[in-house]
Structures are given as structure tokens and as C-alpha cells.
Structure 1
Amino acid sequence: MLNSINTNPGALLALQNLNATNTELATTQSRINTGKKVGTAKDNGAIWSMAKMQSASSSSLNAVKDSLQRGQSTIDVALAAGDTITDLLTKMKEKALAASDTSLNTASFNALKSDFETLRGQIEKAAANAKFNGVSLADGTTAQISFLANADGGNFTVQAQNLGLVGLGLVTGSNTFTSASTAKSMIDVMSKALQTATNKLSSLGTSSTGLDTHLTFVGKLQDSLDAGVGNLVDADLAKESAKLQSLQTKQQLGVQALSIANQSPQTILSLFKG
């Protein structure tokens, strides 16, 4: 090897190795600090781009979950109104049955008739007030309501169920009684209305179950996407910690090697000593 005071190949090589070690050490420390092996496009452009797209899909599902949860609440309100309405229909049937008794005096009959009509009015109020966020599935003002189903804008559609008087078949003029005989006829009408109401509530319940199932699926899908992104960009901290120890030792040795290489030109001076 050429002995020169102008160029020290050994020191240059030692410096190159030390710089490489310092670069690796900085990368490892960055991974430990951030918890990510791919934090920017500079680290790995392809993986970073893929992770960003998956993260965007996962974030979009938050809007889907919000919409589906709003759908749950809307259906729950309609179901609550439906429970009230079926109770009212049951009581109306009882009033009609009691009024069909021919032994009643006029005052008792009229009291039952008044109670029956009051209960009838409460049905319409219950259906009209069954709104969540201004939307109702029970008052007959809408045919169906759609909620977000996926990040692409697909819809989960719920069919509305009219639980008002018209929806239950209790049309004006035929949903009261004026005599014991018409009260007896009203018993069958109320039975049919009660059956209609329970069928409609069953349909809403099925929609609610389907919505709950889909919401659970969306949650699992989001978790899977987040886990997938983690697999792409997260650092193995146990591995990086072990690597840090190794690089710190390697750095110390590199500093010593550079120090030794820098002493090499000093040997040339010994050649000029008498």
C-alpha cells in the first residue's frame, strides 16, 4: 500500500464504513421513535402508496358506520312506536269487546266508545312522532330509506312500514262503533289491524337484524384493513431494538477503526528520525 501524507486510503475506507453505520443507525432510531418501518414515500414508495390507499378505505368506513348506526336508531324509534301501537290496538279490541255486551246501559257504552276513540287517536300520534333526525319509518310519509353500506357509496335500503291508521286498515268511518252490534264487528277489525301491525313490526325487526349484521361486518372489515396497513408499515420493535444495540457497538468500533487509520501517516515521520 502506498504510504502518503496526502491520501490515507485506510482512513477513507473506515470513514465510509462509519458513515454507512451512522445511516443505518439513524434509520433504526427513526423506526423506534415512530414505530413505523415505512413512514414516508421516501422509505418505500410502493408500500407507502399501498398503505395510504388502504388507510383511506378504512377511514371511509367511519362514515359508513355512522350512517348504519343512524339507521339503527331510526328503526329502533319505529319499533318503539310499533310496540306502543300494538298495545293500543289490544286495548281497543278490549273496549270493542266490552261494548258488544248488550246488557250495558247507555252511559257505560258511551264511556267505552269514548275510550276507544281516544285510543285510536293515540295511534296516529305515536306513528307521527316516531322520528329520528327528522326521519320516520312508521308514519307513511316515505316508502323507504337508504343508508351507506360500503366505502364505494353503496346503499343498505330499509322499507318503511306505515303504522298509522291508514296503514293498519282503520280507514275513516269504519274505525269506531255506534252500537253493540257494530262494536262486535269491530272486534274482528281490530284483530286484523293487530295482525297487520305485528307483520309490519316483524319486517322492521328483520331489517334491523340485517343492519346490525352488516354493521358488525363493516367493523370487522375496518379492523382487517387497519391490521393490513400495520403489517405493511409497522416496525418490529423487538427486532429494531436488537439491531440498535448491534449498530451502536458497530459505530463504536468504526470510530476506533477511523482513529487507528488516522494514526497511520504518523509512521512516516519515523522514517525521517535519525
Structure 2
Amino acid sequence: MADPITLSSATRTNLLSLQRTTSLIGKTQERLSTGKDVNSAIDDALSFFKARTLNSRASDLATVKDGISEGIQVLTAATDALSNVEDILKQMKAVASSAKSTAAADSGTRMKLASQFNELRSQIDHLTQDASYNGINLIKSGADTLTVKFSESPSASQRQLKVEGDVTDASGLNVASQSAATTGWGASAGYGATIDNAINDIDSALTTVRDTAQTFGTNASMLQIRSDFTDNLINTLENGASDLVNADVNKESANMLSLQTRQQLGTISLSIAQQSEQAVLRLF
């Protein structure tokens, strides 16, 4: 077995110093490459786990924000559809008014207008049936209920918004179809009262549609406020996590320059120590 190599005190001291410098350079390079001062629990357990908790909550809130955004889209789809329903109701009222002003002897024209009225009524049903977003429809027959959560906590059931749907198809608005026969708008007499009833029903339906649209619009605005708040909270949490673990790039760059200089000096010092030992050997 070979004898162990014995290093002089000066050589050993310089070698250990050089090893420590090399290790510090490695850590500094890691910080510069990752941009983080704390890359694992070994670096700083308290900061590492605090940052992970903050980032986890930010991620959970991002999911909540997605749900809020979906809720806004559901309400937007409903309010857009209600705006179109209102336009159709106005057209129906215009048709009914035109029929009422038609001469008593012109029953044929009133029959045609009754058919137009009924066609417009059917479009209300088609429109409300199509006003769905992501499977949720707040205005169709058998309207759905929208539930939007504001908190990432499963137990925070009170921190949510529940919007009940409101049936606004033709039947839900109590807008009945009109007979084009001689017993209805095509009658030679008495048709005025029938048309007046239809106009009154439309006026009532217009009020209902506008009130419902206002309610949905108010809820959408409130959800937008909550979405903005959640977005700001996510940014705050992420910034807080970054402050705990991110490295000061300028500081680490200066450290790297200093350590590289120290490494070069250590190498020179080690070389000098070895040269001193070689000088001693030349005496023999």
C-alpha cells in the first residue's frame, strides 16, 4: 500500500480556500441561471415554503378567476340575446299596430300580418334556446342557474354569486300566438280588442325583458369587479413569492466577478506555495 501524500500547511490552506471559492462560484452561477436566490429548501427552508404556499394560492385563485370569466360570458350571452328579443318584440308590436290600423274590410292583410306576428314569436323561442354558453342558458324554457365561486376554499360557500335564470321565451313572456282566421285578426269586426290585448302583452313582455337584462348586466358588472380584484390579488401573491426567492441579479453578477478574481488569486497562491516546496527540493 502506497504511503499517503502529505501536503504542506500552505498548500493545504490554499487548496481548501480554492475549493470553497469554486463551490461559491457554482452556487452563484445557479442563482444567475435560475434567477432565484432560493432554489430549494436547503437554501432557505422558511422562504422556500412560504413562496410555495403563496404560489399555490395564486394558482388556485387563477382557477377561480377562470370561473368568474366564464360566468361573465354566460351573463353576456344572456343579455345579448335579451337585447335581440327586445328588438323582435318591438317588431311584433309594430306588426300588431299595423294590423289594427288596417281597414275593416281588408281582412286578408290582417291575416298576413298575423302570420308575420307568429313567425316573429317563433324566432323569440329559437333565439332564447340558442343563448347558451358552456352549456348554461339563463333564459330558455327551464332556465339554468349560474353559480360563480369567489374563493379558492371549498368551505367558503357563502363567497359566491348565484344567478337564477328567468324564462324569457314567448310562453314565459306570456306572448301568445295570434289566430289569422276569421275569428281572430281576420275577423271583419271585433278584431281591434284582440290586437289591443296582444299589444298589451308585448308591452308587459318588453318591461320584463328590460328588467331581466338589467339584472343580468348588473351581475356581470359585479363579476368583472371581482375578476379585477382576483387578478390583482394573484399578482400580489406572485410578487410576494418572488421577493422571497428571487435573486438580485446585479448583486450576484458582482459576486461572480469577485469570486472569479478570488479564484484566480487562489490559483496563483497555490502555485506559489508549490513553487516554494520545489525550491526546497532543489537544495538536495
TM-score interval, smaller chain? 0.7 to 0.9
**C-alpha separation between the residues in 1 aligned to 2:226 and 2:253?**
41
Equivalent AA in structure 2 for residue 72 of structure 1: I
Are the aligned partners of 2:82 and 2:209 in contact in 1 as well (CA < 8 Å)? yes
Alignment of 1:72-91 (within 5 A): 72-91=72-91
Percent of aligned positions that are identical:
30
**Compared with structure 1, are the counterparts of its residues 102 and 256 closer, same or farther at alpha carbon in structure 2 (3 Å cutoff)?**
closer
Larger CA deviation: 231-240 vs 153-162: 153-162
1:139 aligned residue:
140
Alignment of 1:2-17 (within 5 A): 8-17=8-17
**C-alpha separation between the residues in 2 aligned to 1:140 and 1:9?**
92
- Aligned to 2:255, the other structure's residue is in SS state helix
**C-alpha separation between the residues in 2 aligned to 1:186 and 1:82?**
20
**C-alpha separation between the residues in 1 aligned to 2:87 and 2:214?**
15
Indicate whether 1:211 and 2:217 are aligned.
no
Q: 2:198 aligns with which of 172, 186, 189?
A: 186
- Aligned to 1:168, the other structure's residue is in SS state coil
5+ long unaligned stretches in structure 2: 186-190
The CA deviation at 1:102 is 6.2
Deviations 1:137-172 (A, max 9, x none): 111423521133232245333332221124323367
TM-score (norm 2): 0.84
The CA deviation at 1:266 is 4.9
Equivalent AA in structure 1 for residue 217 of structure 2: G
**C-alpha separation between the residues in 1 aligned to 2:70 and 2:206?**
28
Q: How many pairs does the alignment contain? A: 267
- Aligned to 2:101, the other structure's residue is in SS state coil
1:97 aligned residue:
97
Deviations 1:120-144 (A, max 9, x none): 1211221112112222011142352
Are the aligned partners of 2:128 and 2:140 in contact in 1 as well (CA < 8 Å)? yes
The CA deviation at 1:60 is 2.1
Indicate whether 1:170 and 2:182 are aligned.
no
2:246 aligned residue:
234
**C-alpha separation between the residues in 2 aligned to 1:100 and 1:111?**
13
The CA deviation at 1:221 is 1.8
- Aligned to 2:162, the other structure's residue is in SS state strand
Deviations 1:56-102 (A, max 9, x none): 22222332232222222222221221111101111111122222236
**C-alpha separation between the residues in 2 aligned to 1:123 and 1:248?**
77
**C-alpha separation between the residues in 2 aligned to 1:260 and 1:68?**
70
The CA deviation at 1:268 is 5.1
**C-alpha separation between the residues in 2 aligned to 1:115 and 1:187?**
14
Alignment of 1:28-177 (within 5 A): 28-101=28-101, 103-104=103-104, 105-142=106-143, 144-153=145-154, 155-170=160-175
TM-score (norm 1): 0.87
Are the aligned partners of 2:79 and 2:216 in contact in 1 as well (CA < 8 Å)? yes
Are the aligned partners of 1:161 and 1:204 in contact in 2 as well (CA < 8 Å)? no
Equivalent AA in structure 2 for residue 43 of structure 1: D
- Aligned to 1:132, the other structure's residue is in SS state coil
**C-alpha separation between the residues in 2 aligned to 1:93 and 1:216?**
41
